[in-house]
A and B are shown apart, each in its own frame.
Chain A
Amino acid sequence: MTGNLPSTSENAIELRGLVKRYGTVTAVDGLDLAMRRGECFGLLGPNGAGKTTTVEILEGLNDPTAGEVTVLGRHWATDEAWLRGRLGISLQETHLQERLSVIESLRLFRSFYDHGQDVEALVKLVSLEDKRDTWYSKLSGGQKQRLAVACALVGDPELLFLDEPTTGLDPQSRRQLWDIVLGLRAEGRSVLLTTHYMDEAERLCDRVGVVDKGKLIALGTPKELIATLGGEQVIEFVTDRPLDEAPLAALPGVRAARHVADGWALTVNEVHVSIPALLQHLGRLGAPLHRLSTHHATLEDVFVSLTGRQLRE
């Protein structure tokens, strides 16, 4: 499909001790990371965690304060032209030219690459056939974002960066974008994706790196990360009585108990064992139950257990 000679390095991305400071503010605080070729890797973290800064350094659009950055086995300082032709980039916010149509924008971006994909096929890939000749300014948020992804794909990249591709989109548009990314993943493309939606990372990524305050605090497949919680289910409840953590954690089937925003979260293996025990415990204390819910453990719970904070605040 491409006339490019693939680079030989095994990892698509290697970061060692990456630091980025803006004056006194440290955006990235000693990040180590390796992303393999052919995997869809998610950088998950709240706003301001340093995801975009990290990605822009990888994209050669920002300079690190310290640390070693290797992309496709090469360095920005020496191989910029080589790298530019092999990366596909979708920035966190891009506004393309307002008065260019979908196909005109794609032809423009296609012209910058020596080798690349057929622009008409890309229109189809991102399901914008109906909007082929519509001006960018008249597209919806989701359509604009799909066009941004198509522009990132136009050079048939070895490595694709998608920075918060679904932020601000409605659920249906998010799902359409997910389908596109899942398709790319199935093709075996190397994709680095940032997001602050845990469901997105869980759905799309082979491996996830959780970033907080400029540091990598967890790394693994979504399954592995959730498994670190010790259970697969989470019971959340709210009561107005102060409770001790230890007796809750000692209830049958409960792996961990922690105080969250306005109540408690228990990580459990078997809900049907733990709930009756919990109700009994609360009854003995005379604590009234205001709310009770259960859900499958998610990356959100991983983040909360690691930082004590919610992912989206």
Chain B
Amino acid sequence: MSRPSSPNFSPLWQLTLARWRSFYREPSTIFWAFVFPIVLAFALGVAFRNRPPEPVWAAVLQGEGAPAVFGALERSGQVKVQVYDERGAHEALRTGKVALVVVPATATGPRTYQFDPTRPDSRLARAVVDDILQRAEGRVDPTKVADFKVDAPGSRYIDFLVPGLLGLNLMSSGMWGIGFVLVEMRTRKLIKRLLATPMKKRDFLFAFGAMRGLFLLGELPLLIGFTWLVFHVAVKGSLLLLLGCATLGSLTFAGLGLLTASRAQNTQTANGLINLVQMPMFLCSGVFFSSERFPEVLQPVIKALPLTALNDALRGIMIDGAGLAQVARPMAIVAAWGVGAFLIALKLFRWR
């Protein structure tokens, strides 16, 4: 059987075109797919941007040694310091105005630090203040050290966040864009209508895959470009590898979307199923914070989730500049999910 050679009448092309048109002609899909991730990246990037270090607040109790202590602390430039009488000092400590009260040494007793050890800022203040005063009084550190301040692009929260958002978006657009759309088509008997033609099921499914690819070509440059311009989030590794990894993730979640949609007869069921699949990964797969924060016993499970693996691979490429060899393992996990889901979905899928 030969097909007419005009590409206009290639069924795969027409089906892809139909998917593409249904996608871009629906303003809300455009918002959720393209605008929302950028808004989220912007909001979280601004909320968690790095601020200059907070100064340490301390009070010095009035008395004989107070001016010397006050002077040493003020010269350091690291401490906001004020002199109080005894009542005022305790009041300031209690209300949190200062983190530490310094009682200078007297003839009868040593220098004393008054603070609440359960307050982290108080513990920090004690360490900083003691360090400054000891040095001012002539302490010599036995080991020379050097500080290296890290606030360069690549190690900030936004750098951690962007690959996670990319992974999240690939998951949700795949699940909704395939799973939900297919169930809706089944409910509207459109799948049945298409099945009543000589259309090949293969073409029908490939069109969804092709649509994922088109989506990715829009999503990837948009999110990466935006965060690069606004937050200077850079891709350290190969862009080509990033694209390959994102494509793999996209197809895997397309497969999972297909599996979720394989039996559902109405959109409410589909809705519930998609949320059921997505929720654990939304929370545990290291989108907004590292998946390592979950208890040790859960780690093998969390590591095996497709979104965790995808996020690990994307972060490796974007932040650490990892090559194919370093991300091969997580990518293999992603691929295994994709192939498995697709094969099972083909067995289960309700075409009529």
Query: Which residues of A are in contact with B by a Cβ distance under 8 Å?
Result: 59-62, 81, 84-85, 87, 89, 91, 93-100, 104, 107-114, 135, 151, 155
In the complex, the answer to whether A108 meets B192 with C-beta atoms within 8 Å is no
Chain A residue numbers with a CB within 8 Å of B118 are none
List residues of B (40-57) whose CB comes within 8 Å of A's CBs: none
> Which of B8-16, B127-135, B293-301 lies at the interface?
B8-16
Nearest residue (CB) in A for B199 is A112
Task: Check if B347 is an interface residue, CB within 8 A of chain A.
Answer: no
Contact A97 B22, CB 8 Å, known A61-B352, A107-B9, A111-B14: yes
In the complex, the answer to whether B9 meets A84 with C-beta atoms within 8 Å is no
Nearest residue (CB) in A for B352 is A61
A109 and B13 CA atoms in complex are apart in Å by: 12
A104 and B21 CA atoms in complex are apart in Å by: 10
- A-B interface, 8 closest residue pairs, ranked by CB to CB distance from nearest: A111-B14, A95-B188, A99-B25, A84-B198, A89-B196, A112-B197, A112-B199, A111-B11
Further contacts, 14 of them, CB under 8 A, given A100-B18, A109-B197: A84-B198, A91-B196, A94-B189, A95-B189, A97-B22, A107-B8, A107-B14, A108-B15, A110-B9, A111-B8, A111-B10, A111-B11, A112-B199, A114-B198
List residues of B (273-294) whose CB comes within 8 Å of A's CBs: none
Contact A114 B1, CB 8 Å, known A97-B190, A99-B25: yes
Task: Check if B64 is an interface residue, CB within 8 A of chain A.
Answer: no
In the complex, the answer to whether B22 meets A111 with C-beta atoms within 8 Å is no
Most buried by A among B15, B195, B198: B198
Task: Choose among B14, B17, B190 the residue that contacts A94 (Cβ–Cβ < 8 A).
Answer: B190
Nearest residue (CB) in B for A114 is B1
Task: Check if B193 is an interface residue, CB within 8 A of chain A.
Answer: yes
Chain A residue numbers with a CB within 8 Å of B198 are 81, 84-85, 112-114, 155
Nearest residue (CB) in A for B14 is A111
Task: Check if B26 is an interface residue, CB within 8 A of chain A.
Answer: yes
- A sample of 7 inter-chain contacts (CB < 8 A) reads A84-B196, A96-B193, A111-B10, A111-B15, A114-B1, A114-B2, A151-B193
In the complex, the answer to whether B11 meets A112 with C-beta atoms within 8 Å is yes
Chain B residue numbers with a CB within 8 Å of A62 are 352
List residues of B (173-199) whose CB comes within 8 Å of A's CBs: 188-190, 192-199
In the complex, the answer to whether A104 meets B192 with C-beta atoms within 8 Å is no
Nearest residue (CB) in A for B196 is A89
- Shortest distance between the CB of B178 and any CB in chain A (Å): 15
Chain B residue numbers with a CB within 8 Å of A81 are 198
Task: Choose among B4, B189, B192 the residue that contacts A114 (Cβ–Cβ < 8 A).
Answer: B4
Most buried by B among A84, A98, A107, A108: A108
Contact A91 B192, CB 8 Å, known A81-B198, A112-B197: yes
Chain A residue numbers with a CB within 8 Å of B21 are 97, 99-100, 104
- Shortest distance between the CB of A184 and any CB in chain B (Å): 18
A61 and B352 CA atoms in complex are apart in Å by: 7
Task: Check if B3 is an interface residue, CB within 8 A of chain A.
Answer: yes
Nearest residue (CB) in A for B23 is A99
Nearest residue (CB) in B for A82 is B198
In the complex, the answer to whether A155 meets B197 with C-beta atoms within 8 Å is yes
List residues of B (79-136) whose CB comes within 8 Å of A's CBs: none
In the complex, the answer to whether B22 meets A61 with C-beta atoms within 8 Å is no
In the complex, the answer to whether B18 meets A97 with C-beta atoms within 8 Å is yes
- Shortest distance between the CB of B309 and any CB in chain A (Å): 35
A47 and B21 CA atoms in complex are apart in Å by: 37
Chain B residue numbers with a CB within 8 Å of A107 are 8-9, 14
- Shortest distance between the CB of A168 and any CB in chain B (Å): 15
In the complex, the answer to whether A99 meets B197 with C-beta atoms within 8 Å is no
- Shortest distance between the CB of B142 and any CB in chain A (Å): 74
Nearest residue (CB) in B for A94 is B193
In the complex, the answer to whether B199 meets A91 with C-beta atoms within 8 Å is no
In the complex, the answer to whether A61 meets B195 with C-beta atoms within 8 Å is yes
Task: Choose among A61, A87, A99 the residue that contacts B26 (Cβ–Cβ < 8 A).
Answer: A99
Q: Using an 8 Å CB-CB cutoff, how does the interface string of B306-349 with A read, 1 for contact, 0 for none?
A: 00000000000000000000000000000000000000000000
Chain A residue numbers with a CB within 8 Å of B4 are 114
In the complex, the answer to whether B11 meets A93 with C-beta atoms within 8 Å is no
- Shortest distance between the CB of B265 and any CB in chain A (Å): 15
A290 and B68 CA atoms in complex are apart in Å by: 119
A151 and B190 CA atoms in complex are apart in Å by: 12
A108 and B15 CA atoms in complex are apart in Å by: 7
A130 and B194 CA atoms in complex are apart in Å by: 26
In the complex, the answer to whether A95 meets B18 with C-beta atoms within 8 Å is no
In the complex, the answer to whether A98 meets B22 with C-beta atoms within 8 Å is yes
A97 and B181 CA atoms in complex are apart in Å by: 11
Chain A residue numbers with a CB within 8 Å of B18 are 97, 100, 104, 108
A109 and B196 CA atoms in complex are apart in Å by: 10
Chain A residue numbers with a CB within 8 Å of B11 are 111-112
Nearest residue (CB) in B for A59 is B196
Chain B residue numbers with a CB within 8 Å of A135 are 25
Q: Using an 8 Å CB-CB cutoff, how does the interface string of B22-40 with A read, 1 for contact, 0 for none?
A: 1001100000000000000
- Shortest distance between the CB of A289 and any CB in chain B (Å): 50
- Shortest distance between the CB of B350 and any CB in chain A (Å): 13
Nearest residue (CB) in A for B1 is A114
Chain B residue numbers with a CB within 8 Å of A100 are 18, 21-22
In the complex, the answer to whether B189 meets A108 with C-beta atoms within 8 Å is no
A42 and B117 CA atoms in complex are apart in Å by: 90
Nearest residue (CB) in B for A110 is B9
Chain A residue numbers with a CB within 8 Å of B195 are 61
Chain A residue numbers with a CB within 8 Å of B3 are 114
A114 and B26 CA atoms in complex are apart in Å by: 32
- Shortest distance between the CB of B324 and any CB in chain A (Å): 38
- Shortest distance between the CB of B201 and any CB in chain A (Å): 12
A270 and B4 CA atoms in complex are apart in Å by: 62
- Shortest distance between the CB of B180 and any CB in chain A (Å): 14
Chain A residue numbers with a CB within 8 Å of B14 are 107-108, 111
Task: Choose among B2, B17, B25, B189 the residue that contacts A91 (Cβ–Cβ < 8 A).
Answer: B189
